[in-house]
Structure 1
Amino acid sequence: MKNRKGVDMMKEVKYIVDHRHYKLYYVWDGIRVYFNMRLLAIGRHPSYPVYLFTRAGHRFDFTEKLAWMRAKEPEKLKRVKFIPLNPSNRHLLQHFFVKLV
């Protein structure tokens, strides 16, 4: 996808994530058909926040929501598919405007 100036918008970087501080997961929700892929960055230390990145280029602080879901709605969380970042799916990071350092 290109903008009016002919620059590839998928190559723009809005957020930089340090892999030493965060574990990255691709997240799909749904029951039978997975849709709405997002990127979840979970801090490796409890004091680090959890961020959710959307393909529209938005970042949300998801720390309290994930803790609430684990405590109050574990059944709904089981429907969510978490796939860790690996070399075969690393190219998908560009869809979230995220650069891994």
Structure 2
Amino acid sequence: MKNESKEDSNFWIAYADLMAGLLFVFILLIGTIVVKYVLTQSDLKEIKDNLNKQEARLEESKEELRNKEAIVFKLSSDLNNASSALNLANSQKAELEA
């Protein structure tokens, strides 16, 4: 009887040791997951910051492009007006010479 009680006691001690080991494995696993999550969040924040900077530069470039397009349109309009005036002057000159 005493021998059987000792075997039961050893079984439960071994069982408790296994459960403690399993708990330790789960704690390590959760710790690893938390660390990976924190690192991923840090990388994500850096990527978002870079994306925001790129978007700001893109908006600046778009605004600069709009300004240059307006300048080109104005210069094109001025050139067309000058060309029309030159054609008119040439036609008037041709009429006077004829």
User: Structure 2-normalised TM-score?
Assistant: 0.18
Greater radius of gyration (CA): 2
By relative contact order (CA 8 Å, sep 6+), the higher-ranking structure is: 1
Structure number with higher strand proportion: 1
Using structure 1 for the length normalisation, give the TM-score.
0.17
Higher-helix-fraction structure: 2
